[in-house]
Homo-oligomer: A and B are copies of this chain.
C-alpha cells in the first residue's frame, strides 16, 4: 500500500477503495509505461516492483497479467516480463484501426449527440488545451483520449468503445513520445476545435475529418520516430 497508488474513478463521488491492489498496481504501472518511465524492451522484475510498492510479489503478478492482456508487456515463462516494443508498421496499423473504428462510432454518435454531450466535450477540450500549454504531457495524453471518448459516448456502442479504448492505451504511449519530440500537436489542437464545431452542426463531414486527423497523427508520429531513430543510432 504505497502513496503512489491513487484510487481511480474520480467522477463517481462516493466510490472509494473499490479497487483491488492488483488493479491499482496495473493502473500505476500502465501509467509509468505510458510515461516512458519504463522504456521499450526494459525488463520488469517482480521483486523490484513489489518492494517499491511495499507489497508482496503476488499482486504484482496479477497486475502483470492485466498489462500483458492490454499488450503493454510480454512475459515468457520463467524469464519475466519486458515492455513491448512495436515495429513502426504495427504502430501505423494501430492508428489505422483507430481511424476505422472511431469513424464508425462517430457516425453512430453524431445523430445522437445532445447539447449536454457537446458541452462536456468542450469542457474537456479546454482542459486539454490548458494542459498542453502547460506542457503537462501525461495530462495531455489522458485528456486527448477523454476528448475523443466524449464524442463517442452518445453512440451507446459499448463493445466498440471498449475496443477503441484498448487501442488508445497503446497509441497513448507514442503520442506522449511525440509531444516530447515535435510540435505537431499544434495542428492537432486546431483540428480538435474544428471537430467540435462540425459536431455542433451535426455535419457528417466530421467523420472524414476525424479520419484525416487520426491518420495524420500517425504519420507525424512515424516521422518523428524515424528521425529520432537515426539521431539515436548516430549518438
Chain A residues within CB distance 8 Å of chain B: 18-20, 22, 58, 61-62, 65-66, 69-71, 77, 90, 93-94, 97, 100-101, 104, 157-160, 162-163, 167
Which residues of chain B come closer than 8 Å to A19, judged between CB atoms?
77
Name the contact of A65 in the complex, choosing from B69, B100, B101, B157 (C-beta under 8 A): B69
In Å, the complex CA distance between A167 and B22 comes to 25
Option from B93, B101, B158, B159 in Cβ contact (under 8 Å) with A158: B93
What's the nearest-Cβ distance from chain B to residue A155, in Å?
10
Evaluate whether A77 and B159 lie within 8 angstroms (CB atoms) in the complex, with A62-B61, A69-B65 already known: no
Cβ distance A8 to chain B, nearest Cβ, rounded Å:
13
A22 and B78 alpha carbons, distance in the complex (Å): 13
CB<8 Å pairs between A and B, sample of 22: A18-B77, A19-B77, A20-B77, A22-B65, A58-B58, A62-B62, A65-B66, A65-B69, A71-B162, A90-B159, A93-B157, A93-B158, A93-B160, A94-B159, A97-B101, A97-B159, A97-B160, A97-B163, A100-B101, A100-B104, A163-B163, A163-B167
CB neighbours (8 Å) of A97 from chain B are 101, 159-160, 163
**A115 → chain B, closest Cβ, in Å?**
25
Which of B69, B100, B163 is within 8 Å of A70, CB to CB? B69
